[in-house]
Amino acid sequence: MRFLKQLLVILGVTFAGEALHAFLPLPVPASIYGLALMFVCLCLKIFPLRAVEETGNFLVDWMPALFIPATVGVMAAWDVLQPVLVQVALIMCLSLAAVMAVSGRVTQWALRRRGKHKKEDNRHA
């Protein structure tokens, strides 16, 4: 019963996300509205974490498996992809490494800069 109740809450929030997607004219998908709604509900204590936690953890753990059918779709898109395969693969690999490196380094730099300021503040005080 516990899992059923948790699933109900999660599906409720998901449905509310779909409703927002239907009524707001922004190019934001239902899943992201749902993510934001779930976060807001937890922050405002509309329901406690334990009302969704176990089922939610299960769904998050299994997430990679949910992409299998869409990825197998490469099979169906092969004819369009094949002529530009080398270029697309090159762009994919290079920009992936660049994005991961830049966002990771910038975040670390900003975190440490802040950390240093704090230490200096402490010294002044």
Residues in 80-99 that interact with other proteins by CB under 8 A: 80-81, 84, 87-88, 90-99
Encoded one letter per residue, x for contact with other proteins by CB under 8 A and - for no contact, window 11-50 reads x-xx--xx--------xxxxxx-xxxxxx--xx-----x-
Cβ nearer to other proteins, comparing 2 with 101? 101
Characterize 11-31 residue by residue with b for buried, 16 or more Cβ atoms within 10 angstroms of its Cβ, and e for exposed: eebbebbeebbeeeeeeeebe
Under rule CB under 8 A, how many of the chain's residues touch other proteins?
73
Whole-angstrom Cα Rg for the chain: 22
Asked if 85 and 38 count as a contact pair (C-beta separation under 8 A), the reply is no
Cβ nearer to other proteins, comparing 1 with 49? 49
Cβ nearer to other proteins, comparing 3 with 93? 93
Asked if 88 and 81 count as a contact pair (C-beta separation under 8 A), the reply is yes
